[in-house]
Amino acid sequence: MSDTPETGAGAGSPPDRGSLIHDWNRTEDPPTLPRGTVTFDDESLRDGLQSPSVKDPPREAKLRILHLMEHLGIHSADVGLPAAGPRAFDDTLALVTETVSAGMRLRPNAAARTVVKDIEPIAEISDKAGRPVEVAMFIGSSPIRFYTESWDIETLVRLTDEAVTFAVRHELPVMFVTEDTTRATPDTIKRLYQTAIRAGARRITVADTVGHAVPAGVRAILRYVRSVAEETGEEILVDWHGHNDRGLGVVNALIAAFAGADQIHGTALGIGERCGNAAMDQILVNLKLLGLIPNDLTRLAEYCETVSAATGVEIPCNYPVVGTDAFRTATGVHAAAVIKAAKSGDTWLEDMIYSSVPASRFGREQVIEIGPMSGLSNVTYWLVKRGIDPDPALTDAIFNAAKRAKSVLGEDEILAIVAEHTAIG
């Protein structure tokens, strides 16, 4: 079986890379960050653990994950809900203390309901660790929550004023989060946010708690919330916290960044309740590839694999960038192109010929396998890569075995053929 005409990559002078890919993402109204930059809040160690399918990781694993967040350039992390009980308190204290002892730039925040008794443990942790801990206090805001819980707006306004005032009095920064913001009325949003701002909150979060929003809704609500904040005359940071119930978690997070959100929330692998949160790893990858953030993402796979092992959430084989199949091919035509690109010695060309994501920028590499859809070039490449002489008889033997197989040949199967061929030889 022939893959493609046997011409090599890079004949003559190598062209300018920009001429090899026509990028429609950048030709008309390219994405930008209107406010100049964006930061990231990682919810993996709190909101991400609300999924009924995850395990609460041991403290040692949480500490390792925290360090990987720091390495990826993530700016802040939700490190727990200490009012949930003694274990939650102790883990939160340990994580905050680690940010101090390790000299991390990453800012810790801790979740709380918008009630004073939930904020008191955060104040205690802040005092013990010697570092301010941002209070991520949340309160429901949608009509459906009001109806179900028999709430009234005056009660929620009072709780908001009391809780924010208490946190500010204890010198704790406040991130005020309205749950289910994307299904809340403009009047309710305005009352709650402006109450929190008057009491001293300097960061407010729009939460798409049930993954209701579509891109147009993201732009509309951020525009409205920004105007609500500006009416107060204070310098207020506006965050976006999205879920993935409609499969739009990452898309909406990117839209929020392009619409001027100051900070984007997410979790590793998108772990979280129901269909999960927006996947932090995919958000970082896309903004990096658009040239909008400077973060070093070479340890992104380690971050995802560590969270996967710690929580028991498996990484699907076809998961973007860090899945086992992300840069792996056994198709003859595709493999032949990758092999020709590799022969040029240009890693960029090898990465991009059959991928929109350069594997080497994220600590990965292209992998050529041998299976039923492979060509002879797959076999030759596989053998040469491992220092095995690709003589025609051996190559044919492996190629014929692959054609009879129902899936990609494992390394042990191929080496068994190599051993048999060597013995016969």
CATH number at residue 216: 3.20.20.70
Question: Is residue 3 included in any domain, yes or no?
Answer: no
Clarify whether residues 90 and 203 are in a common domain. Answer: yes
- Report if residue 119 sits inside a domain: yes
Statement to judge: residues 43 and 76 lie in one domain:
yes
Q: What is the pLDDT along the chain (425 residues), one digit of tens a residue?
A: 434 444 455 555 566 787 898 888 877 788 899 999 999 999 999 999 999 999 999 999 999 999 999 999 999 999 999 999 999 999 999 999 999 999 999 999 999 999 999 999 999 999 999 999 999 999 999 999 999 999 999 999 999 999 999 999 999 999 999 999 999 999 999 999 999 999 999 999 999 999 999 999 999 999 999 999 999 999 999 999 999 999 999 999 999 999 999 999 999 999 999 999 999 999 999 999 999 999 999 999 999 999 999 999 999 999 999 999 999 988 888 888 888 888 888 889 989 988 999 999 999 988 989 999 988 989 988 898 899 999 899 999 999 999 999 999 999 999 999 998 888 76
Same domain, 153 and 256: yes
Indicate whether 244 and 368 sit together in one domain: no
Sign of CA pseudo-dihedral 175, 179, 182, 185: negative
In terms of domains, do 100 and 211 share one?
A: yes
Q: Are residues 225 and 303 in the same domain?
A: yes
* Helices 59-71 and 86-101, axial angle in degrees (round to 10): 40
Q: Are residues 233 and 170 in the same domain?
A: yes
Both 85 and 50 in one domain: the answer is yes
Domain limits for position 411: 327-424
**Residue 385, strand partner residues:** none
1 in any annotated domain: no
**18 part of a folded domain:** no
Both 239 and 119 in one domain: the answer is yes
Token pair 């729009």 is found at 206
Predicted model pTM = 0.92
15: in domain: no
CA distances in angstroms from 343 to 346, 349, 350, 383, 395, listed in the order given: 8, 10, 9, 15, 19
Q: In what helix (H) or strand (E) does residue 338 lie, and over which residues does it extend?
A: helix 332-343
Q: Is residue 395 part of a domain?
A: yes
Last residue of a domain, one of 259, 278, 311: 311
383 CB-near residues (< 8 Å, 6+ apart): 389, 390, 394, 395, 398, 418
Is residue 96 included in any domain, yes or no? Answer: yes
**Is there a single domain that holds both residue 346 and residue 211?**
no
Same domain, 225 and 286: yes
At 385, which amino acid appears? K
Residues 6+ away with beta carbon under 8 Å from 304:
268, 269, 281, 315, 322
Long-range interactions of 391-395: CB distance < 8 A, separation 24+ = 393/421, 393/425, 394/418, 394/421
Claim to verify: residue 286 and residue 359 sit in the same structural domain = no
- Domain tally, the chain: 2
